[in-house]
Structure 1
């Protein structure tokens, strides 16, 4: 299948799925909880004697760091695939 057609079909399917979802937050709650748990676990490993408030702050920064790293990798990949300016 042509990659462009496959992308369009996937996009259609995603829109149909989300159109059938009344409460998007509840649909993604388990995944968000699992991700937040991972960041909290990392924070507790880094700072075993910290208070719950400190752990929450560190976990939030670990989450932001993770998404910033993903953004940087994405930007690098897009730049790599971009044709060189003439």
Structure 2
């Protein structure tokens, strides 16, 4: 039996609430994911780890900001397209 998208979403929410209800330290629970996310940017700006730590940190911060700005731009474009589609017109 396949689940509808709504049922899959509800199942995921139930699992998430169950996880957090039994988790003593949310920060520790997500530490590995945060470390991997940070490493992604370090690998992007200094793959050979040759930069000074301060310079690497500065570049990582800018790479992270650029990443989130790209997400925000994509989200904005998607909302504009969805709004235009509702109005029956083309996105700008």
Change (3 A) 1:81 1:9: farther
Q: How many residues align?
A: 83
- In 2, Cα distance between equivalents of 1:17 and 1:78: 32
- In 1, Cα distance between equivalents of 2:37 and 2:73: 19
Change (3 A) 1:27 1:62: same
**Per chain length, whose mean CA-contact separation is higher, i.e. which structure has more relative contact order (CA < 8 Å, sep 6+)?**
1
Partner of 1:41: 43
**1:60-71 alignment runs, 5 A limit:** 60-71=61-72
Partner of 1:84: 87
Unmatched 5+ stretches in structure 1: none
Change (3 A) 1:84 1:19: farther
Structure number with greater Rg is: 2
Q: What is the CA distance between 1:16 and its match in structure 2?
A: 1.0
Q: What RMSD over aligned residues (CA atoms) do the two structures have, in Å?
A: 2.3
Question: TM-score with structure 1 length normalisation?
Answer: 0.75
SS across alignment from 2:76: helix
- In 1, Cα distance between equivalents of 2:80 and 2:22: 36
Question: TM-score with structure 2 length normalisation?
Answer: 0.71
Q: 2:6 aligns with which of 4, 7, 10?
A: 4
Change (3 A) 1:81 1:5: farther
